Amino acid sequence: MHLLEAWTSLGPFHLARLLALPGAMLVAVLLPGRTLARGAALVGGAGVLLLAELAVPWWTRTLWVLLWLVIAWQAGRPDPADAAAAPTRRRGVEAGAVALPLGLALLALMLAAVWRQTFEPDDARRASLGALLVGLGLLHLMMRRHVRRAVLAVGALGVGLELLTASARAADVVHEGAPAGTAWLATLLVLLLVVRVADGRARYAGSVFVSDAHELQD
């Protein structure tokens, strides 16, 4: 019960500080819309600013905040005027019926792996929060079909990886782990690729929804 005690021992402020980004991501996973996606990214940026558990220098945390501001800008961009309309709600329900149980199962497996370890309270919270963000990022990729708003998932995966890296760094007695900023750089590169793919789909396929790829005709 070390993991449960590590969380229940926190006061309301620290719980809100730690759960701001996961809560925003959960809302973005379950509900569509660019305004909501932009709001979730802004909450994520504020959450990262207060997330001392990242255990990185101040400049790296500043870069994370700036990256989430870029995510908010991209996630809130309107679709082109000539873009195809969103796929029908029925297709979304069908995709969600498969993606939601699969994503929750992956999330449960990652949290169970953390649960089995013996951590100090700070490390337990850091590792479990990292696993939670990675799981929510994967769930967002499976649930939401808007390519440009996948930048939210990329951001959550990046912060989750940074937290897991911080946990590994704390146990690295030989100090041969990745330097600070590596996870941020990897996230930035993937973010640029996602934006490029979204722009390409909007320009050449006429839609930023990935489900339209299954509707191509000869």
**Looking at the predicted structure, is the pLDDT value of residue 8 above 80?**
no
pLDDT at 113: 63
Which position has the higher pLDDT, 218 or 67?
67
Q: Specify whether the CB–CB gap between 40 and 24 falls below 8 A.
A: yes
pLDDT at 71: 94
Mean pLDDT of 166-170: 75
pLDDT at 214: 44
For residue 39, give the H/E element and its range. Answer: helix 34-49
Range in 9-18, 69-78, 185-194, 206-215 with the lowest mean pLDDT: 206-215
Which position has the higher pLDDT, 5 or 96?
5
Q: Specify whether the CB–CB gap between 75 and 149 falls below 8 A.
A: yes
pLDDT at 174: 54
